[in-house]
Homo-oligomer: A and B are copies of this chain.
């Protein structure tokens, strides 16, 4: 049955594929001989191409950020709550570009793609991408679309790291930078969680050192575990209490090793559906990009110095119950920008949803983001 598309939706959207035949040199020293980027756009690019906003995705994200792919589609894009007519990122004013990053598994070149040098899937040989590599590929997408300067680059979590990297590597190509629920680098605890996820995947006997395609297997158990663990860290203790508490699945304790609590059932289900649709090699790659991100490392661990060339206005947003990237991590970015006398606004939103809060249209958050995007830019003369 066709769904009623809500009035504040961007409606039915069709992904596009852009192909790049020029090699992309990478942080690792390797290079991609050629690549494709899958992307979507929402809204209209204006005549002087000054209203374009780039959306950067997080660990398990992709190009499909808003709208529906068909009338039968049961779920909209992953950030539909914040992108659309009248929403935080208003498609009546802005031309929004959202892509699947290299190394992903939703249409852009990644581990499941054919390596032109071997004629086989890249698999585990796909180069590890650094955030700067993604940003470079995104800059080429901007060239392809004829966009010299983004009105804004926006991202949450790993997406926020890309937004920050834009301001460092292409200071003249964005007017505004929105860094949400992010961090200037991961802590040992963050890396530890990622390492458990990677070990879950690579120790799955169906992983076959990443050559599972050739073995007609998928490391579903490991990927499912990785997702279950990730999911816990995206939620707050409070939100899990509100959502599940100690509610029992069947009303009583089993006294066997089956499912007792609702939260167990929920996590298993989340792991199961994720492991059906995400590529394990992509998951490993995304976690490494997170771990490796540390732009200040090239500048004597001085983030302020690292951001010295940035010219854009910054908005940094954190959420009170986000313990994966807690507000103090956002404040590190803000402190570095303030020390560098950059234009920066900071907002800590009181929200119960934990790290996932950035996906929700929390009124204060929507108001600040839309206001920041609308106001004349200060940092860069246009």
Judging by beta carbons under 8 Å apart, are A225 and B203 in contact? yes
Beta-carbon contact of B240 and A28 below 8 Å? no
Contact across chains for A263 and B191 when beta carbons are under 8 A apart: yes
A235 nearest CB neighbor, chain B only: B189
Q: Is the CB of B240 within 8 A of A187?
A: yes
Query: A195–B225 contact, CB under 8 A?
Result: no
- A264–B243 alpha-carbon span in the complex (Å): 32
B261 with A191: CB separation less than 8 A:
yes
Chain B residues in 8 Å Cβ range of A243: 188
A228 within 8 A of B: yes
Q: Is the CB of B246 within 8 A of A189?
A: no
- In the complex, chain A residues 244-262 whose Cβ is within 8 Å of any chain B Cβ: 244-246, 253, 255-257, 260-261
Per-position 1/0 for A203-225, Cβ under 8 A of B: 10100001000000000010011
User: Nearest Cβ distance between residue A103 and chain B, in whole angstroms?
Assistant: 13
Decide yes or no whether A49 CB sits under 8 A from chain B. Answer: no
Does A84 count as interface, using CB distance less than 8 angstroms? no
Interface SS majority for chain A: helix
- B199 near A228 with CB under 8 A, answer yes
Shortest Cβ distance from residue A243 to the other chain B in the assembled complex, whole angstroms:
7
The answer to whether A229 has its CB under 8 Å from any CB of chain B is yes
Chain A contact residue count (CB 8 A cutoff): 56
- Which chain B residue lies CB-closest to A27? B255
Interface status of A76 (Cβ within 8 A of chain B):
no
**In the bound complex, do residue A200 and residue B200 qualify as a contact, i.e. CB atoms below 8 Å apart?**
yes
- Cα A255 to Cα B29 in complex, Å, equals 9
Interface window among A14-22, A139-147, A288-296: A288-296
A225 touches B196 (CB 8 A): yes
* A-B CB proximity, top 3 nearest: A28-B255, A188-B240, A188-B244
How many angstroms between the C-alpha atoms of A235 and B124 in the bound complex? 32
Q: Does A348 contact B (CB under 8 A)?
A: no
* CB-based nearest B residue for A264: B195
A87 within 8 A of partner (CB): no
A190 and B205 alpha carbons, distance in the complex (Å) = 28
| Given A188-B241, A196-B232, A196-B267, A128:B256 Cβ within 8 A | yes
Q: How far apart are the CA atoms of A255 and B292 in the complex, in Å?
A: 9
Complex: how many Å from CA A351 to CA B220? Answer: 40
In the assembled complex, which residues on chain B have CB atoms less than 8 Å from the CB atom of A229? 196, 229
